[in-house]
Amino acid sequence: MAPREFNVLFLCTGNSARSIMAECAINRWGKGKFKGFSAGSHPKGAIHPMALALLKELNFETAGLRSKSWDEFARPDSPPLDFVFTVCDQVAGEQCPVWPGQPITAHWGAADPAAFVGDERQTRRFFFRIYTELDNRIKIFTSLPFDSLDRFALERRVREIGKIKPPEDR
């Protein structure tokens, strides 16, 4: 019997940059083992142009990406979620919907690249820094020994991953 994919939802307020980049990263690194999704509590309705440009530069398929509400994942017919990660501090403090599947949750906060103010080069560099921070966490997450961890150990590990800071922030 083939192992099933784990469904992972990344949440942010606007669903225009961080959560979108995390969705792409987990779909790349967790191919066959994880299916990534993203949503926002107050979606912007569009993906930030710099996030799209960076993802294209990193050879991600961006055609199906869209900014969407977290309500899409709280419906009875939504895919059951195994993990829900908040990637911004604001949404982590909000009252989340009840997710189908009793997922393991953790906060993986990262700075908001969409709020960064600078010239195009500085903005691209900041977006790449945030992408790298999320990408590193996702690589660690996807390499966890899921078969040998019970739920409590897994909860502890995913919360620890959220505390990993990029080298320049240490």
DSSP letter (8 states) at residue 94: S
Locate all alpha helices (DSSP H) within the chain, ordered by sequence: 18-29, 49-57, 89-92, 120-142, 151-161
Own/partner pairs, 105-108, CB within 8 angstroms, 24+ separation? 106/155, 106/158, 106/159, 106/161, 106/162, 107/159, 107/162, 108/22, 108/134, 108/137, 108/161, 108/162
State the CB neighbour count (10 A cutoff) for residue 70: 25
Active-site position among 25, 51, 88, 161: 88
Query: From the candidates 96, 140, 144, 149, which is the catalytic residue?
Result: 96
Element (H, E) at 46: none
Is 24 among the catalytic positions? no
The one catalytic residue in 9, 11, 12, 54 is 12
Q: Which residues are catalytic?
A: 12, 88, 96
